[in-house]
């Protein structure tokens, strides 16, 4: 479960990607759609969604339902896709507000539970598999305001990959929503990366156990963030390699 920090490798690879800029808008749209499917599938699968990557593509691109799959899984795919578009729109600015976070959650969650979509939880929650206890509901509004106020300093103090990982960790720690906290945190992490000029970062479902263990490590015991930061950097490196591969492939056709 040990991951090497890949930040230097990512920055070197981004230097190669810069050689393709300015990137044709048609190519950018193709790449955006490619990552829409990958991120939606992987982020939902981490949370137990049963749709395969191919089925996710069918739901999003063809608007079809998959026989035998729960309706909620279809709603999660559609909602995540809409939130993904919002993240791209929000990336045009350099700030992240509390309203932005609420809107990301609302878009993802309104088909599933409209009453709680985009609203902080009013009930206690238990996270299975960890001794970590999320804050009481009464503390969430204040904690979220402090968290959002802290984001600019995180971005200023840390490398963009580190800052994005810490933003993810902080939101999951507050656990402000009744459900969808992980997916909102991953979308928020990617928003922070986009705003800094980095590509999307995808966490493969096969690495779910490592991902959860490293979040847990950052929340309990010694509360060491380095393992989680290294993990996110490794995921960002793989996603950046994929982005570079797509660019080379599309620019040669």
Model pLDDT for residues 50-77, shown as the tens digit of each residue: 999 999 999 999 999 999 999 999 999 9
* 110/75 Cα distance (integer angstroms): 9
Q: Does domain 7-251 have CATH number 3.40.605.10?
A: no
* Cis ω before 153 (30° cut-off from 0): no
Structural tokens at position 15: 């230097």
Residue spans per domain, the chain: 7-251
69-89: b (≥16 Cβ within 10 Å) or e = beeebbbbbbbbbebbebbee
Quick one: pLDDT at residue 253? 61
Residues with catalytic annotation? 175
Q: What does the pLDDT look like over 3-46, one tens digit per residue? A: 999 999 999 999 999 988 888 888 889 999 999 999 999 999 99
Q: What is the 3-state secondary structure (H, E, C) of 119-173?
A: CCCCCCCCCCCCCCCCCCHHHHHHHHHHHHHHHHHHHHHCCHHHHHHHHHHHHHH
Low-confidence ranges of the chain (pLDDT < 70): 221, 253
Quick one: pLDDT at residue 127? 84
* 134/136 Cα distance (integer angstroms): 7
* 45/182 Cα distance (integer angstroms): 11
* 228/244 Cα distance (integer angstroms): 24
Give the helix ranges, DSSP H, for 158-225: 160-174, 181-195, 208-219
* 152/163 Cα distance (integer angstroms): 9
Quick one: pLDDT at residue 21? 83
With CA atoms as reference, report the closest residue to 168 among 51, 46, 253.
46
Model pTM?
A: 0.96
Radius of gyration for the chain, computed over Cα atoms and rounded to the nearest angstrom? 18
* 183/249 Cα distance (integer angstroms): 30
């Amino acid at each position: 479960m040990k991951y090497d920090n890949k930040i230097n490798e990512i920055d070197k690879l981004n230097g190669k990607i810069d050689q393709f800029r300015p990137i044709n808008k048609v190519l950018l749209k193709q790449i955006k759609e490619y990552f829409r499917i990958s991120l939606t599938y992987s982020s939902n699968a981490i949370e137990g969604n049963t749709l395969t990557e191919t089925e996710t593509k069918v739901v999003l691109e063809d608007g079809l339902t998959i026989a035998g799959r729960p309706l909620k899984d279809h709603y999660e795919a559609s909602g995540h896709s809409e939130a993904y578009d919002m993240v791209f729109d929000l990336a045009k600015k350099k700030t992240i507000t509390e309203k932005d976070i609420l809107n990301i959650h609302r878009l993802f969650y309104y088909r599933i539970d409209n009453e709680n979509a985009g609203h902080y939880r009013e009930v206690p929650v238990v996270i299975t598999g960890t001794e970590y206890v999320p804050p009481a509901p009464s503390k969430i509004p204040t904690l979220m305001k402090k968290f959002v106020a802290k984001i600019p300093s995180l971005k200023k103090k840390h490398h963009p990959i580190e800052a994005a990982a810490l933003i993810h960790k902080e939101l999951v720690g507050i656990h402000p929503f009744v459900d969808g906290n992980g997916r909102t945190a991953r979308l928020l992490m990617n928003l922070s990366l986009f705003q800094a000029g980095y590509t999307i970062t995808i966490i493969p479902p096969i690495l779910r156990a490592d991902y959860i263990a490293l979040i847990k490590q950052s929340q309990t015991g010694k509360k060491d963030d380095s393992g989680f930061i290294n993990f996110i950097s490794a995921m960002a490196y793989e996603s950046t390699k994929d982005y570079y591969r797509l660019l080379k492939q599309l620019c040669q056709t």
